[in-house]
């Protein structure tokens, strides 16, 4: 069975958004990358404060939030940029994906 990874994001067209094709350009890229690694991705669009809080509190199976500018916060590990910007995926240090 293919494992599904759940991420949170905000409405930020054209990068992310519930009504955008594929939930936005960055969402499509993230889905493509994880599909190549053998994972399915579920992306939930919500207010930014909720997107961060659900990951921080490790609630409802959320594994990370995106997009994020360079973040200096010891609770998280941040990937390099996704696409052609400084935005990256952020995940908790206590529960990294370790892919």
- What CATH number has the domain bearing residue 87? 3.40.190
- E strands in the chain: 4-9, 40-45, 62-68, 76-78, 88-92
Q: Kindly state the tokens that stand for 58.
A: 């490790």
For residue 69, what are its two tokens?
A: 């500018």
Per the structure, the complete domain to which residue 37 belongs is given by: 1-98
Q: Rounded to two decimals, what is the model's pTM?
A: 0.81
- H-type helices in 16-97, by residue range? 25-36, 48-56
Is a pLDDT exceeding 80 seen at residue 85?
Answer: no
Number of domains in the chain: 1
Read off the pLDDT of each residue in 66-83 and give the average, rounded to a whole number.
83
Lowest mean pLDDT among 20-29, 49-58, 62-71: 62-71
């Amino acid at each position: 069975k293919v494992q599904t990874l759940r991420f949170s994001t905000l409405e930020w067209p054209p990068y992310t958004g519930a009504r955008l094709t594929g939930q936005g350009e960055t969402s499509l890229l993230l889905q493509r990358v994880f599909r190549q690694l053998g994972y399915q991705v579920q992306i939930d669009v919500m207010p930014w404060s909720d997107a961060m809080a659900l990951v921080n509190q490790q609630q409802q199976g959320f594994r990370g939030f995106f997009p994020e500018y360079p973040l200096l916060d010891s609770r998280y590990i941040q990937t390099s940029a996704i696409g052609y910007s400084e935005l990256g995926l952020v995940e908790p240090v206590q529960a990294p994906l370790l892919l």
